[in-house]
Amino acid sequence: MTSDELIRTSRLGKKYGDVTALEALDLTVCAGEIVCLLGANGAGKTTTLQLLLGFTQPSSGQAWIAGVDVAREPQRARARAGYLPEVVELYPLLDGIETLAYFEQLAGRRGDADGVAASLERVGLPSSAFRRRVATYSKGMRQKLGLAVALAKGADALLLDEPMSGLDPSAANDLVQLLRALAGKGAAILMVTHDIFRAQQAADRIGIMRHGQLVEEVAATAMTPQEVERLYVHHLRDAA
């Protein structure tokens, strides 16, 4: 494993009883790279993220974040990762500043209001929302705040579950630009999404998952969105 392989799995698998959620996944995301996993519901995308974060124990294989074995040292591995879950609720009674300040404090930062406000601006949250309670946020605003939380500690490895969900086209485009900028600074980003167009736009490589297996891995830059879509639909049909 090279030092720039910030996210890596080897023969990683997970079974829930007789059900195989993930099977022998070999995946590497290097520093400066964005990899998107596409797949239908139940294809194993979210399970992959959960295994990479040590939220569940693998049935087989191994996973590493920044070279740290996740199963052996989950907390150390998580310390090197940023995470955005698929559903972002956060704390409805806190405002945006308070929410992000808390996560910055967890990461050992000061979490002062000015620094927090700058982080919120970076993800495109309107300044009028900074002091509003999260309960009043739209889904897209919560998504942006969740992204700010994921970025709060400046982690090397970012694991994003449906980050475009709820974002309007302009905000989604901004997010793509932001992710590209982060990758440009050396972050490794593994993103799970249904949004083929944004995946093709943001990713360096696209992996297609089906029934817990990575069935296809392609270089996104070599394909048009239409070609990615055809490939995805082809695998979906196979799955059906």
Among 88, 167, 175, 179, binds another protein (CB under 8 A): 88
Instruction: Classify 218 as helix, strand or coil.
Output: strand
Question: Contact between 120 and another protein (CB under 8 A)?
Answer: no
Binding to another protein (CB under 8 A) within 28-67 occurs at 50, 53, 55-57
Give which of 82, 58, 59 is closest to 70, Cα–Cα.
Answer: 58
Number of neighbouring beta carbons within 10 Å of residue 49: 22
Are the beta carbons of 96 and 134 closer than 8 angstroms?
A: yes
Out of 1, 18, 108, 114, point to the residue binding another protein (CB under 8 A): 108
CB of 94 to another protein, least distance (A): 7
Partners of 171 in beta bridges: none
Q: Is 105 in the site for another protein (CB under 8 A)?
A: yes
Q: Which stretch binds another protein (CB under 8 A): 5-13, 95-103, 173-181, 198-206?
A: 95-103
Of the listed pieces 23-31, 90-98, 120-128, 193-201, which binds another protein according to CB under 8 A?
Answer: 90-98
Stretch of 26-34, 37-45, 142-150, 200-208 lying at the interface with another protein (CB under 8 A): 142-150
Round to whole Å and give the CA distance between 233 and 238. 8
Check: CB of residue 144 under 8 Å from CB of residue 124.
Answer: yes
Tell me the residue type at 54: G
Segment near another protein (CB under 8 A); pick from 144-152, 163-171, 200-208, 209-217 = 144-152
Output the smallest distance, CB 130 to another protein, in A.
16
Q: State how far the Cα of 37 lies from the Cα of 173, in Å rounded to an integer.
A: 18
**Beta-strand relationship, 5-16 and 213-219:** unpaired
CA–CA distance, 141 with 175 (Å, rounded to integer) = 12
Candidate ranges 148-156, 192-200, 220-228, 232-240; the one touching another protein (CB under 8 A) = 148-156
Among 2, 11, 89, 226, binds another protein (CB under 8 A): 89
Phi and psi torsions of 214, nearest 5°? -85, 105
In three-state secondary structure terms, 210 is: strand
Tell me how far, at minimum, the Cβ of 181 lies from another protein, in Å.
21
Question: Is residue 210 close enough to count as binding another protein by CB under 8 A?
Answer: no
Is 57 or 177 the residue whose CB approaches another protein more closely?
A: 57
Residues paired with 205 in a beta bridge: 35, 219
Residues that bind another protein (CB under 8 A): 50, 53, 55-57, 74-75, 78-79, 81-83, 85, 87-91, 93-94, 98, 102-103, 105-108, 146, 149-150, 152-153
